[in-house]
């Protein structure tokens, strides 16, 4: 392990002072072209790369931000394609802003403490919080640390941090209104977990439309996994064998629901219409392909990054709600 060259070495080789070498490295304009070239040459010769620890010790910046994924205790999200899409998109965006991404998982209370300690330790300049469940104390805790924080999805407890969310209520209304307008009478729903904002809001949207259209609500609750969707669908068929439509709060559960419907001998959409939510890639490949609600997930991630950068610059940033759209395929 040959030692890495320091600024000192570069300066010596170029025959200038450390300060001047530093100026060149940081692109300051007050260096004569000839000297700049000499230093640059020395940098190239030596393969110099600034030591970030030393740099951030003095600048008090780290140029890295934490991506905190706060999962519910049930480890259900590893399969959710939204999870990786958000992480990837956010990473790409942050990298183009020259920020490093430190990924932190916060599931247990222990890891919660770890995350708080880490962030309090000043390792990162800001935090992007992907909080999955409502009772999460993390948004409030981080907000208290006076570190710039933005949230993916509206925080459940009202706390003053900017967030990006999609219009869950509006999207659910879109879905259910579609079922109503195609003449469905007995419209059930498989709701998401009620300790998640997304779960709550999508159920609210469902209820809004049913109320207005004078229909009875038929509700089962899942936890956003395929498995729970399958179970909930069986339950629903038992509760009301005559149901002719179901709005499922996410596509993953809809996949499970389709399976249960198939096993129960119901044809989709002839006997039962199904509408999902999210428009994941897999929705195109179900049997039949799934009618669903699309929300702009790439844009949502990108917006979150923009929000954080704005927060760095201005100290404030406004929440953003993105619109949803109905994608009609064969299931409804």
Nearer to DNA by C-beta: 22 or 310?
Answer: 22
User: Which does residue 78 touch among a copy of itself, DNA, none (CB within 5 to 8 A, set by kind)?
Assistant: a copy of itself
User: Which does residue 219 touch among a copy of itself, DNA, none (CB within 5 to 8 A, set by kind)?
Assistant: none
Question: How far are the Cα atoms of 213, 231, 249, 292, 317 from residue 332, in angstroms, in the given order?
Answer: 18, 21, 15, 9, 39
Nearer to a copy of itself by C-beta: 79 or 212?
Answer: 79
Residues in 21-60 at the binding interface with DNA, rule: CB under 7 A: 22, 25-26, 29-32, 34-35, 48, 50-51, 54-55, 57-59
Name the 3-class secondary structure at 317: coil
Nearer to a copy of itself by C-beta: 203 or 332?
Answer: 332
Min CB(91)–a copy of itself separation in Å: 5
Residues in 123-142 at the binding interface with a copy of itself, rule: CB under 8 A: 123
Nearer to a copy of itself by C-beta: 67 or 129?
Answer: 67
Min CB(100)–DNA separation in Å: 16
Binding-site string for a copy of itself from residue 50 to residue 89, where x marks contact by CB under 8 A and - marks none = xxxxx-xx----x-x--x----------xx-x-xxx-xx-
Q: How far is it, in rounded angstroms, from Cα 104 to Cα 186?
A: 44
- Write the burial class of residue 28 (CB in 10 Å: 0-12 exposed, 13-18 middle, 19+ buried): exposed
DSSP label at 63?
Answer: S
Min CB(11)–a copy of itself separation in Å: 18
Q: Does 138 bind DNA (CB under 7 A)?
A: no
DSSP-assigned states of every residue in 130-176:
EE-STT--HHHHHHHTT--EEEES--SS--S--EEEE-HHHHHHHHH
User: Which does residue 35 touch among a copy of itself, DNA, none (CB within 5 to 8 A, set by kind)?
Assistant: DNA
Tell me which residue of 268, 273, 270 sits closest to 186, measured CA to CA. Answer: 273
Residues in 89-118 at the binding interface with a copy of itself, rule: CB under 8 A: 91-92, 95, 100-105, 111, 114, 117-118
User: Which does residue 262 touch among a copy of itself, DNA, none (CB within 5 to 8 A, set by kind)?
Assistant: a copy of itself
CB of 125 closer than 8 Å to CB of 308: no
CB of 251 closer than 8 Å to CB of 276: yes
Min CB(185)–a copy of itself separation in Å: 27
Burial letters for 156-177: b for 16+ Cβ neighbours within 10 Å, e otherwise? beebebbbbbbbbbbbbbbbbb
Supply 111's token pair.
Answer: 């890891």
Q: How far is it, in rounded angstroms, from Cα 151 to Cα 153?
A: 6
Q: Does 7 bind DNA (CB under 7 A)?
A: yes
Name the 3-class secondary structure at 187: strand
Q: Does 226 bind a copy of itself (CB under 8 A)?
A: yes
Nearer to DNA by C-beta: 60 or 78?
Answer: 60
């Amino acid at each position: 392990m040959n030692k890495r060259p320091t600024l000192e070495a570069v300066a010596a080789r170029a025959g200038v002072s450390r300060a001047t070498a530093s100026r060149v490295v940081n692109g300051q304009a007050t260096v004569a072209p000839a000297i700049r070239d000499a230093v640059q040459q020395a940098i190239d010769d030596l393969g110099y790369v600034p030591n970030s620890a030393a740099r951030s010790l003095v600048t008090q910046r780290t140029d890295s931000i934490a991506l905190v994924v706060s999962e519910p205790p049930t480890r259900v999200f590893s399969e959710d394609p939204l999870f990786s899409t958000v992480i990837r998109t956010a990473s790409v965006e942050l990298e183009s802003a020259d920020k490093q991404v430190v990924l932190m998982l916060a599931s247990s209370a222990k890891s919660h403490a770890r995350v708080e300690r880490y962030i309090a330790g000043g390792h990162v300049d800001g935090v992007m919080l992907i909080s999955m469940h409502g009772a999460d104390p993390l948004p409030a805790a981080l907000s208290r640390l006076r570190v710039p924080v933005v949230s993916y999805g509206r925080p459940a407890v009202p706390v003053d941090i900017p967030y990006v969310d999609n219009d869950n209520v509006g999207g659910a209304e879109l879905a259910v209104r579609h079922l109503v307008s195609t003449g469905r009478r007995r419209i059930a729903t498989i709701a998401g977990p009620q300790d998640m904002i997304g779960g709550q809001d999508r159920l609210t949207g469902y209820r809004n439309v049913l109320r207005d259209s004078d229909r009875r609500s038929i509700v089962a609750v899942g936890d956003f996994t395929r498995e729970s969707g399958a179970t909930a669908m069986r339950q629903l068929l038992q509760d009301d064998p005559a149901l002719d439509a179901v709005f499922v709060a996410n596509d993953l559960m809809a996949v499970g629901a389709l399976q249960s419907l198939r096993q129960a001998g119901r044809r989709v959409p002839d006997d039962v219409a199904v509408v999902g939510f999210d428009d994941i890639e897999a929705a195109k490949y179900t049997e039949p392909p799934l009618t669903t609600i699309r929300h702009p997930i790439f844009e949502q991630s990108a917006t979150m990054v923009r929000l954080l950068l704005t927060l760095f610059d201005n100290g404030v940033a406004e929440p953003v709600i993105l619109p949803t759209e109905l994608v009609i395929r064969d299931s409804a």
